[in-house]
Amino acid sequence: MATALTWLGHSAFRVDSPGGKRIYVDPFLHGNPKCPESELEPERCDLIVLTHGHDDHVGDTVAIHERFGCPVVAQVELRGWLASKGIEFNLAHAPNKGGTVKEGMISITLTDANHSSSTEDGAYAGEPAGIVLALLDAVRRFTIYFAGDTNVFGDMSLIGRIYSPDVAVLPIGDHFTMGPREAAVALELLGVARCVPCHYGTFPLLFGTPDELRKLAPPGVEVLAPEPGETLTF
Protein backbone atom coordinates (compact mmCIF):
# COMPACT_ATOMS: atom_id res chain seq x y z
CA MET A 1 0.00 0.00 0.00
CA ALA A 2 1.12 3.52 -0.71
CA THR A 3 1.25 6.65 1.38
CA ALA A 4 -0.70 9.61 -0.01
CA LEU A 5 0.21 13.18 0.89
CA THR A 6 -2.26 15.90 -0.09
CA TRP A 7 -1.35 19.56 0.26
CA LEU A 8 -4.26 21.70 1.43
CA GLY A 9 -2.43 25.00 1.04
CA HIS A 10 -0.24 26.80 3.60
CA SER A 11 1.05 24.16 6.08
CA ALA A 12 -2.05 21.96 6.07
CA PHE A 13 -1.71 18.38 4.88
CA ARG A 14 -3.86 15.31 4.69
CA VAL A 15 -1.95 12.04 4.91
CA ASP A 16 -3.47 8.69 4.05
CA SER A 17 -1.41 5.91 5.56
CA PRO A 18 -0.74 2.52 3.99
CA GLY A 19 -3.03 1.07 6.65
CA GLY A 20 -5.92 3.31 5.54
CA LYS A 21 -5.74 5.84 8.36
CA ARG A 22 -6.38 9.50 7.59
CA ILE A 23 -4.19 12.02 9.38
CA TYR A 24 -4.41 15.81 9.27
CA VAL A 25 -1.30 17.84 10.00
CA ASP A 26 -1.87 21.50 10.96
CA PRO A 27 -5.43 21.52 9.53
CA PHE A 28 -5.89 25.21 8.76
CA LEU A 29 -8.84 24.82 6.38
CA HIS A 30 -11.46 27.55 6.94
CA GLY A 31 -9.76 30.91 6.55
CA ASN A 32 -6.92 29.40 4.52
CA PRO A 33 -7.20 31.17 1.16
CA LYS A 34 -5.46 28.29 -0.63
CA CYS A 35 -7.52 25.45 0.82
CA PRO A 36 -9.69 24.02 -1.96
CA GLU A 37 -13.44 24.32 -1.38
CA SER A 38 -13.77 20.53 -1.63
CA GLU A 39 -11.35 20.09 1.29
CA LEU A 40 -13.04 22.44 3.75
CA GLU A 41 -15.15 19.71 5.34
CA PRO A 42 -13.15 16.54 6.00
CA GLU A 43 -15.18 13.40 5.38
CA ARG A 44 -13.27 11.46 7.99
CA CYS A 45 -10.26 11.84 10.26
CA ASP A 46 -8.42 9.31 12.41
CA LEU A 47 -5.71 11.53 13.86
CA ILE A 48 -4.67 15.19 14.02
CA VAL A 49 -1.08 16.25 14.66
CA LEU A 50 -0.02 19.84 15.34
CA THR A 51 3.34 21.60 15.16
CA HIS A 52 2.50 24.65 17.28
CA GLY A 53 -0.23 26.90 18.61
CA HIS A 54 -0.54 29.65 15.98
CA ASP A 55 -3.99 29.77 14.48
CA ASP A 56 -2.72 29.22 10.92
CA HIS A 57 -1.72 25.74 12.19
CA VAL A 58 -4.29 24.81 14.84
CA GLY A 59 -6.93 25.90 12.34
CA ASP A 60 -9.98 23.62 12.33
CA THR A 61 -8.63 21.17 14.93
CA VAL A 62 -11.41 21.70 17.49
CA ALA A 63 -14.19 21.41 14.89
CA ILE A 64 -12.70 18.28 13.31
CA HIS A 65 -12.25 16.67 16.71
CA GLU A 66 -15.83 17.50 17.67
CA ARG A 67 -17.07 15.85 14.50
CA PHE A 68 -14.97 12.69 14.47
CA GLY A 69 -13.67 12.30 18.03
CA CYS A 70 -10.19 11.65 16.65
CA PRO A 71 -7.08 11.78 18.84
CA VAL A 72 -5.11 15.04 18.73
CA VAL A 73 -1.35 14.88 19.31
CA ALA A 74 0.46 18.09 20.18
CA GLN A 75 3.19 19.37 22.46
CA VAL A 76 2.11 19.13 26.07
CA GLU A 77 1.25 22.79 26.78
CA LEU A 78 -0.62 23.20 23.50
CA ARG A 79 -2.47 19.96 24.16
CA GLY A 80 -3.40 21.32 27.58
CA TRP A 81 -4.81 24.48 26.02
CA LEU A 82 -6.86 22.38 23.59
CA ALA A 83 -8.43 20.69 26.61
CA SER A 84 -9.81 24.11 27.57
CA LYS A 85 -11.47 24.15 24.13
CA GLY A 86 -13.21 20.84 24.72
CA ILE A 87 -10.69 18.25 23.54
CA GLU A 88 -10.44 16.06 26.61
CA PHE A 89 -6.88 16.00 27.92
CA ASN A 90 -4.97 12.81 27.35
CA LEU A 91 -1.38 12.80 28.55
CA ALA A 92 -0.59 9.98 26.13
CA HIS A 93 -1.23 12.44 23.29
CA ALA A 94 0.77 15.26 24.86
CA PRO A 95 4.47 14.56 24.32
CA ASN A 96 7.39 16.93 24.24
CA LYS A 97 10.39 17.16 21.95
CA GLY A 98 12.22 13.87 21.48
CA GLY A 99 9.16 11.94 22.58
CA THR A 100 7.31 9.48 20.38
CA VAL A 101 3.61 8.69 20.46
CA LYS A 102 2.39 5.49 18.84
CA GLU A 103 -1.10 5.19 17.44
CA GLY A 104 -1.36 1.71 15.94
CA MET A 105 0.95 1.60 12.92
CA ILE A 106 1.66 5.32 13.06
CA SER A 107 4.35 6.93 15.15
CA ILE A 108 4.70 10.64 15.83
CA THR A 109 7.89 12.16 17.18
CA LEU A 110 8.24 15.83 18.07
CA THR A 111 11.50 17.50 17.06
CA ASP A 112 12.98 20.89 17.64
CA ALA A 113 11.90 23.93 15.60
CA ASN A 114 12.92 27.56 15.96
CA HIS A 115 9.88 29.78 15.96
CA SER A 116 7.37 31.04 18.51
CA SER A 117 4.13 29.58 19.78
CA SER A 118 1.04 31.02 21.41
CA THR A 119 -2.66 30.51 20.92
CA GLU A 120 -5.25 32.78 19.34
CA ASP A 121 -6.31 33.97 22.82
CA GLY A 122 -2.72 34.65 23.87
CA ALA A 123 -2.16 31.57 26.04
CA TYR A 124 1.28 30.02 26.40
CA ALA A 125 1.45 27.10 24.00
CA GLY A 126 4.82 25.63 24.87
CA GLU A 127 7.43 25.62 22.14
CA PRO A 128 6.99 25.08 18.44
CA ALA A 129 7.94 21.66 17.14
CA GLY A 130 8.59 19.70 14.01
CA ILE A 131 6.99 16.31 13.47
CA VAL A 132 8.48 13.04 12.31
CA LEU A 133 5.56 10.97 11.10
CA ALA A 134 6.46 7.34 10.50
CA LEU A 135 3.92 5.15 8.76
CA LEU A 136 4.45 1.46 9.08
CA ASP A 137 3.05 -1.45 7.19
CA ALA A 138 4.07 -5.08 7.02
CA VAL A 139 6.98 -4.43 4.70
CA ARG A 140 8.27 -0.92 5.18
CA ARG A 141 8.43 2.27 7.16
CA PHE A 142 7.70 5.51 5.32
CA THR A 143 8.83 8.61 7.15
CA ILE A 144 7.79 12.20 6.53
CA TYR A 145 9.47 15.06 8.39
CA PHE A 146 7.26 18.13 8.78
CA ALA A 147 9.61 20.90 9.87
CA GLY A 148 6.76 23.13 11.06
CA ASP A 149 7.53 26.83 11.11
CA THR A 150 11.25 27.29 11.58
CA ASN A 151 14.46 28.70 10.26
CA VAL A 152 17.22 26.30 9.29
CA PHE A 153 19.27 24.99 12.22
CA GLY A 154 22.30 22.74 12.38
CA ASP A 155 20.60 20.00 14.36
CA MET A 156 18.51 19.14 11.33
CA SER A 157 21.47 16.87 10.59
CA LEU A 158 20.51 14.91 13.75
CA ILE A 159 16.94 14.57 12.51
CA GLY A 160 18.34 13.19 9.25
CA ARG A 161 20.72 10.87 11.05
CA ILE A 162 18.20 9.49 13.53
CA TYR A 163 14.99 9.31 11.50
CA SER A 164 16.18 9.14 7.85
CA PRO A 165 13.06 10.82 6.46
CA ASP A 166 11.93 9.78 3.00
CA VAL A 167 10.39 13.21 2.41
CA ALA A 168 10.96 16.57 4.08
CA VAL A 169 8.08 19.05 4.20
CA LEU A 170 9.75 22.43 4.63
CA PRO A 171 8.42 25.98 4.90
CA ILE A 172 9.88 28.18 2.17
CA GLY A 173 7.70 31.30 2.23
CA ASP A 174 10.24 33.49 4.06
CA HIS A 175 9.26 36.34 6.41
CA PHE A 176 7.83 34.14 9.23
CA THR A 177 9.97 31.09 8.44
CA MET A 178 12.96 30.18 6.35
CA GLY A 179 12.95 30.97 2.67
CA PRO A 180 14.44 28.95 -0.19
CA ARG A 181 18.04 29.86 0.61
CA GLU A 182 17.88 28.36 4.10
CA ALA A 183 15.61 25.52 2.97
CA ALA A 184 18.29 24.42 0.49
CA VAL A 185 20.76 24.09 3.37
CA ALA A 186 18.11 22.27 5.42
CA LEU A 187 17.86 19.69 2.64
CA GLU A 188 21.62 19.24 2.72
CA LEU A 189 21.61 18.79 6.51
CA LEU A 190 18.68 16.36 6.40
CA GLY A 191 20.16 14.33 3.57
CA VAL A 192 16.72 13.69 2.08
CA ALA A 193 16.00 12.88 -1.55
CA ARG A 194 12.59 14.57 -1.77
CA CYS A 195 11.15 17.85 -0.55
CA VAL A 196 7.61 19.16 -0.47
CA PRO A 197 7.64 22.92 0.17
CA CYS A 198 4.87 24.63 2.12
CA HIS A 199 4.01 27.86 3.99
CA TYR A 200 4.42 29.86 0.78
CA GLY A 201 2.04 31.71 -1.52
CA THR A 202 -0.78 31.84 1.02
CA PHE A 203 -0.41 35.58 1.51
CA PRO A 204 1.74 38.09 -0.43
CA LEU A 205 4.29 38.23 2.41
CA LEU A 206 5.13 34.55 1.94
CA PHE A 207 7.01 35.13 -1.29
CA GLY A 208 9.47 32.20 -1.47
CA THR A 209 8.84 29.85 -4.39
CA PRO A 210 9.60 26.21 -5.23
CA ASP A 211 11.48 27.35 -8.36
CA GLU A 212 13.92 29.34 -6.22
CA LEU A 213 14.40 26.29 -4.03
CA ARG A 214 15.01 24.07 -7.07
CA LYS A 215 17.84 26.38 -8.18
CA LEU A 216 19.54 26.15 -4.78
CA ALA A 217 18.74 22.60 -3.67
CA PRO A 218 21.56 20.06 -3.44
CA PRO A 219 22.06 17.99 -6.60
CA GLY A 220 19.70 15.06 -6.91
CA VAL A 221 17.06 16.39 -4.51
CA GLU A 222 13.62 16.33 -6.04
CA VAL A 223 11.51 19.37 -5.14
CA LEU A 224 7.89 18.33 -5.56
CA ALA A 225 5.45 21.20 -5.64
CA PRO A 226 1.87 19.96 -5.71
CA GLU A 227 -0.97 22.39 -6.26
CA PRO A 228 -3.33 22.84 -3.30
CA GLY A 229 -5.62 19.81 -3.35
CA GLU A 230 -3.14 17.71 -5.31
CA THR A 231 -2.06 14.35 -3.91
CA LEU A 232 1.43 12.90 -4.07
CA THR A 233 1.66 9.14 -3.78
CA PHE A 234 4.75 7.43 -2.44
Residues making contact with Zn ion (CB under 5 A)? 56, 149
Residue with Cβ nearer Zn ion (30 or 44): 30
Residue with Cβ nearer Zn ion (56 or 166): 56
Residue with Cβ nearer Zn ion (14 or 57): 57
Q: CB of residue 164 vs Zn ion: minimum separation in angstroms?
A: 26
CA distance 130 to 66: 25
End-to-end CA distance of the chain: 9
Residue with Cβ nearer Zn ion (112 or 149): 149
Residue with Cβ nearer Zn ion (56 or 60): 56
Q: CB of residue 174 vs Zn ion: minimum separation in angstroms?
A: 12
Q: CB of residue 32 vs Zn ion: minimum separation in angstroms?
A: 11
Write b or e for each residue in 9-42: b if 16 or more Cβ atoms lie within 10 A of its Cβ, otherwise e.
bbbbbbbbbbeebbbbbbbbbeebebbbeebeeb
Q: CB of residue 13 vs Zn ion: minimum separation in angstroms?
A: 13
Q: CB of residue 18 vs Zn ion: minimum separation in angstroms?
A: 29
Write b or e for each residue in 188-199: b if 16 or more Cβ atoms lie within 10 A of its Cβ, otherwise e.
bbbbbebbbbbb
CA distance 94 to 75: 5
Residue with Cβ nearer Zn ion (56 or 182): 56
CA distance 145 to 39: 23
Q: CB of residue 153 vs Zn ion: minimum separation in angstroms?
A: 17
